Structure 1
Amino acid sequence: MQDWTLHADEYAAFVRDDGHLARHWEALHRGDGLPWPEERTVQRAWALFHAGRWGEALEAGHAAGPAGLAVACRAQALYATFIEPTERRKLELLLEVAQWARSRNGENAQDADAWYWQAHAMGRYAQAVQATAAVAQEMVVQIQTALERAVQLRPHHAEAHFGLGTLRAEVIDKLGTLIARSVGATSAAAIEMFERGLRLNPRAVFGRIEYAQGLLMLEGDDAVPRAEALYREAAGVAPLDAAERLGTEVAALALQD
């Protein structure tokens, strides 16, 4: 079993019974719009995730079959992005998430979560590697297609909207206006996606972090006051689970930089 638990007293406070998970499900999943799972095994996997027991959540999600894909992908992607100290291992974990999601899309193209996690993992991977312009453009098209498919299948998927905002900001910042135009990436379109994400999930911790980072890519120093305000908002959210607690810590660290 992967030992991915953050061993800190403040995370122990998020270990709750299943009744607590049911009561807070809507608030915890406003970002992905995931409905309450009927399967007891999936409920248990999500309870482990929200308690910060991410290695156990990963294994429980896989054991639950296709219905547990979202929790397995979320647990591994979160660990890879924010906790794994080795860059090579981080990339391996992200590619693995993308492969799980892509395989699921081959089985059921109507699974919004699979499309989102394919895009999310590939987006994080792309941020971490130096690709040629041609490869980068191909990845952008794949990521955008998957995110748009997730939004089509689940229009209230706030995280997919944040992902589209980040993708557009990254393209403008790193690949230039020519490629940006080819995929319809403009500053206005990026900001609209971020704003739509906030409207769908007003308490979004990681969404605010993505928005702040996107503004800095789009506007440089001019965006610093607004970006700092978004980081402060994210750091000030009262976390409902261990993942949100981690997000508030990431935001607080960003304010120190």
Structure 2
Amino acid sequence: MAEPSRVITALRRSVRVEAAPGPVPGRPARTSVLLNPRRLEVLLAAASYPGIHLRSLSRLLLSSLPALRHHVGVLEAEGLVRTVRRGRRAHVFVTSLVPPREEAFLLILGDPVDRRVIVRVGAGPGAGRRELAAGLRMPRSTLDRSLRRLETAATLRVTRRSGRARVWPSAAWRRFEASCAEAAEGRIARFAAVLEKQGLHPAVEPSEPGRARILVDGPRGRLRFVYVANPLLAPAAA
């Protein structure tokens, strides 16, 4: 059984990368940029954590930022990923997997504080700030900053009555939640098409809803990994 070359421990844990038995099919005349092991890692990470910023990606892949920027640049030139700037951060998305209208919500999921807050608000709509802070065990100052960001991003809305503020998920966020589940199968098909176009001979295996096991050609053999197509089911990034 071939051992996946340089597929690092953190990524192996997050998307369950493992070697798969069987020979590698013949290579196409044009060698894929994804046969570079680091670039394959970057693509898998960006698919699993849509909108991950470069520093988080660097920690996840145990790679220096200059080297990572080089590989992201190669993938971007190939049309496989795109980078989106928010302030001083550059966020990486796999091209064709995420519609631009969902980018802001995916960036929220990538922030550990904002993610905790919106998940809590979704589970208990109409809660007050004091209840949220107590339930999250979060300082009020941290919560208030997060609520301002989330309200600005139209992720939640705040109602005020009799001097008391209550927090609700926005209709746009509820639509995003629904689309994450409804669009999962389409994302799996589009990601498989990306890998097929690169000559990696993907084979999609049945899995639980919102996820798929995919076999691809790796640098030294076939690899199997889990692609989480529903971003709400993805684990938190490093």
Name the TM-score class by shorter chain. Answer: 0.3 to 0.5
Output the TM-score relative to the length of structure 1.
0.31
1 or 2, which has the higher strand percentage? 2
Output the TM-score relative to the length of structure 2.
0.33
Larger radius of gyration: 2
1 or 2, which has the higher helix percentage? 1
